[in-house]
Amino acid sequence: MAIWKTDGITPEILQRQSKNTLVEYIGIQFLEIGPDYLKASMPVDHRTHQPMGILHGGAHVVLAETLGSVGANLCLDNTKQYAVGLDINSNHLKSIREGIVIGVATPIHIGSQTQVWEIKIYNETEQLLNISRLTMMVQNILK
């Protein structure tokens, strides 16, 4: 059973919503929305490198927070609530110099006031590069 409360959402819609944002600037592409996960890719190039020529740790965090935040908000009735980042922890396990990385976000906890998401980031040969945990705070929309 799908966890999403936002009907009819597709990777293409998520991509359009990301126009003129950091997501678009660094080249994050939404790939797949599964029943309980969200997947996106990010290039490893001049936009995401650190000075040593490897993927910047902050770029890992941008991909992780993007996936977890989007996933969290898709689990809410967006006419009544929205979720914002509260805390993120990111462990960098392996470096990469070029290519693309793939992030997969899955929920650990979907509560009425908080959500916790795990985001794993892999290289093209499915080696784990990074694992992040994102805590989201659920807010009510005031009218």
What average pLDDT does this structure show over 79-105?
A: 97
Catalytic residue (choose from 65, 98, 118, 126): 65
CA gyration radius, the chain: 15
- Give the residue from 97, 129, 4, 53 showing the smallest Cα distance to 14: 4
- Kindly state the average pLDDT of the residues 67-93: 97
- Residue 109: per-residue pLDDT: 98
128 φ, ψ to 5°? -70, 120
**pLDDT at residue 6 greater than cutoff 90:** no
Question: Is 24 among the catalytic positions?
Answer: no
pLDDT tens per residue, range 18-57 = 999 999 999 999 999 999 999 999 999 999 999 999 999 9
Bridge-based pairing of strands 114-122 and 99-110 is antiparallel
With CA atoms as reference, report the closest residue to 121 among 133, 113, 132.
Answer: 132
For residue 90, the cross-strand partners are: 132
Q: What is the pLDDT of residue 1?
A: 62
